[in-house]
Structure 1
């Protein structure tokens, strides 16, 4: 076994980069630490501008052949990658749980099957991607999607492989080559993806994986003149730096950023459903960009809602994410825990009341928290915490509900609970959000557009929207006359 191999629960993971179809080591490394117990999983190759340049060069060299590969062959290879994921679901699940602390049962049953589905969906969508020709004064318009070139994909730590493949799959399907930079707090499954893709027959250089700190490798990737698309999921400050870096070459960007989403509960709604949906916002220890962290409840039912919520939330089991009975695992990193607690302690000092939680637990666990008595302009209401922390505010009518819901700089998602379809239509029409759920939460279809408004992002991906981003969309106009006789 190589000195660069890390073993996680019996699964071998190569800690080196994957560039041009080969494993490449850096002269320096960084530690990958498990949030479950704080132990060091292993040392990961720490990329710099040198590895970034090599990865982009490999992607550029591989691009012409991959772009010229037929849709059918690209789709076949993507399906083969999906099959490789499905064969290794258990391995991928335990590695990712060890790496980022999310529930093992969720990885087994939902997240890793979704990874495979990402590849299968975009492979199938590619084969049906079409726009009907249309006529302009006797001239024929034909729309096509041309591969754009090498893509840099920068992905977060809260759902590492699922969110990476949400970008990788359509980029590859479109005929592009990829440089994937996973988050340094959870890099392991991206390395396994490189192995799976190679085994599936993906040509060398079409997918490259480089690891390291964004401050050391990120600018070299996002400012490179040969990069034709950048897709990033993460924080607003980082997105601003990426946008500045990409501006030199006007590289198109897709940005899915923070959220401070509202969950509106109207008095005419199903209160049990509302409580279920509210408690669900603690999923993944609150480390979900779409989470409805601002509970907005109509005054007549606020007291009863709170009572039922506390009863339900207090029954959640927090602990080792590898235990099937666990509902909430650890937060990913001591720095993230410090950030979460800082938000909560400042809110409490400003007069907020912790109905439940409001404090750290042992190791990297934060108690599920619900804060009330918070002002609309309070920091805890306005800024993304990214932990198991919810706030509760009340409203008296639709007008106030919408005003509170739209009262932040973000606009990623919103959830509405109401028993009145006309009210649902009125309210959702006024909400600023990329996705709105009515009497449900987290129902996602890959053919739907996904993205945020305001500071929650730029652009939309999903279905044809993904191909619109990852391709140069071309319109060819042909005159009805002018053809020479080739008979």
Structure 2
């Protein structure tokens, strides 16, 4: 490590309450009912950059979960009673607070999960603020509906979005704060109170968000953070009888466990899970664009659920496409994410690193051939896995069917449009798909046939907060974004008023 890197690693002399991470003080206790709450035990948070310990995090259990849910339940009536504008104004103040602390948040999250500092500064953290502001604006301007007349009866009906109650939100480690804000923003704007369990591999920015919430005037108990492992803190939260909605972003196996726990309480779920998304490159594609789209999939060391891990290329372009992708991927710089020149950083944890290594080792043993990478970056050591491009993998092999969630992609070919669509849809996942084509007609035709929640045509990662987002199959349950978020975080009510507001002669019912 360089001296500069040494200076940025945390001072954890006071492990009881405060860690100094990249020069930023982070309180490592829970945030419950508007105050910091300690636990009897802690767990160590390591930086992926060099596996150094950066903080001791207070480890929550059912005790802290019960306290957080009780605080959220107690705060719910007053928060729900505020007007949408009053809540939205507070959330805009939260957005202001995030914007004022972009650099601090970026530095801390880079050390915590290993993502690129430049991406956090210029894109991720400003997007966090935008999420809060956008959902505040949307709630204020879209949730109110005018009364409608019941045809032929003279009655009035009014549709309202009533807050559901206490929302449990379990967030992932690959983009901890951004993906948390995607759920927290609409949940709070709709009038719910929230209990967040951040990822144990990257929990620190959730604690900073609690400070920002408090400074912005979010009342005590409206926003709560319980840190800890999935088993000790996540399990009691998902099974808690006083939870009214549960939003989870993470793996398919964990979602299965959560589903069983939530089912006992009939709790509505919103899941954003894994993906095994395709990139279809047709013979009429702009090859420069297609190569750029392919290399973009190594962003965040491939730890992106939306990434196109399967590249399905027309045979007439396959050789040139593959050669150019390999050549461009070789130019990617792997190293310390705090360096502006770095393109690919480390994997988030030793356990995840070993999982990625296992996927690739088994693929090679089964006959896949590496054109680039194929193992750890031996020059860097640690948790750095080389960008890897594999060909000749059997279509039924694990590397082709399971989500790897690392800097690993496969390339295969097709002859006809029908074959391309069939290969793209030959997966239990259905989160996203990307296609490169010069034909508007083909773009329309193929996009309609792809089983994916989002289809990008000649672009990638363009997301509008007003549009629905989610996946099918093993990629998730439900949709969020715009009105779809508020459909989930509220109980939608239809109130019917008799003519003049009094009396009703009765009539036929449709239900």
TM-score (norm 1): 0.98
Counterpart of 1:196 (choices 199, 212, 226) is 212
Q: Does the 8 A contact of 2:26 with 2:204 survive in 1?
A: yes
Displacement of 1:72 after TM fit?
1.0
Hey, what does 1:386 align to over in structure 2?
405
Checking the alignment, whether the CA contact within 8 Å between 1:151 and 1:228 is kept in structure 2 is yes
What is aligned with 1:270?
286
Inter-partner Cα distance in structure 1 for 2:435 and 2:59:
44
What displacement does 1:140 show? 2.1
Residues 1:431 and 2:444 aligned together: no
Looking at structure 2, the residues matched to 3 and 391 of structure 1 have their Cα atoms a distance apart, in angstroms, of 46
Matched, 1:97 2:110: yes
Mapped pair 1:344 → 2:357: no
Residue 478 of structure 1: how far off its partner (Å): 1.8
For the residues of structure 1 that align with 2:239 and 2:173, how far apart are their CA atoms? 23
Is residue 45 from structure 1 mapped to residue 61 from structure 2 by the alignment?
no
Contiguous gaps of at least 5 residues in structure 1: none
SS state at 1:449 partner: coil
Question: What is the DSSP-based 3-state SS (H/G/I as helix, E as strand, rest coil) of the residue aligned with 1:335?
Answer: helix
Pair 1:405-2:418 in alignment: no
Q: CA RMSD in A?
A: 1.0
2:160 counterpart of 1:156 = no
Is the Cα contact below 8 Å between 2:15 and 2:55 reproduced in 1? no
Of the three residues 430, 443, 449, the one matched with 2:462 is: 443
Give the number of equivalent residue pairs.
484
Instruction: Name the SS for the 1:293 alignment partner.
Output: strand
Which of these residues, 285, 296, 312, is aligned with residue 280 of structure 1? 296
What corresponds to 1:55 in structure 2? 68
- Of 182, 185, 202, the residue aligned with 2:198 is 182
Give how far 1:132 is off.
4.8
- 1:43-442 matches, within 5 Å, as 43-129=56-142, 130-136=144-150, 137-138=152-153, 139-361=155-377, 362-442=381-461
User: 1:437: Cα distance to partner?
Assistant: 0.3
1:128 Cα offset (Å)? 1.0
Q: Distance in 2 between matches of 1:115 and 1:226?
A: 28
Shift in Å at residue 273 of structure 1? Answer: 0.2
1:29 equivalent to 2:48? Answer no
Structure 1 residue 126, shift from structure 2 partner: 0.7
Q: Secondary structure of 1:26's partner?
A: coil
Separation in 2, partners of 1:122, 1:482: 34
Rounded to whole Å, the distance in 2 between the matches of 1:378 and 1:428 is 26
**In structure 1, distance between residues paired with 2:173 and 2:52:** 17
1:3-44 deviation per Cα after TM superposition (whole angstroms, max 9, x unaligned): 410001110000000000010010000000000011000110
- Contact 1:256/1:457 (CA < 8 Å) preserved in 2? yes
Instruction: Give runs of aligned pairs for residues 2-17 of structure 1, distance below 5 A.
Output: 3-17=16-30
**Equivalent position of 2:7 in the other structure:** none
Alignment partners' CA distance in 1, 2:147 and 2:437: 43
**Alignment check: 8 A CA contact 1:376 1:407 kept:** no
What SS is found at the alignment partner of 1:180?
Answer: strand
Alpha-carbon distance change, 132 to 425 in structure 1, aligned in 2, over 3 angstroms: farther
Residues in 1 aligned to 2:146 and 2:481: alpha-carbon distance in whole angstroms:
20
Q: Which residue does the alignment assign to 2:473?
A: 454
Structure 1 residue 479: Cα displacement: 2.2
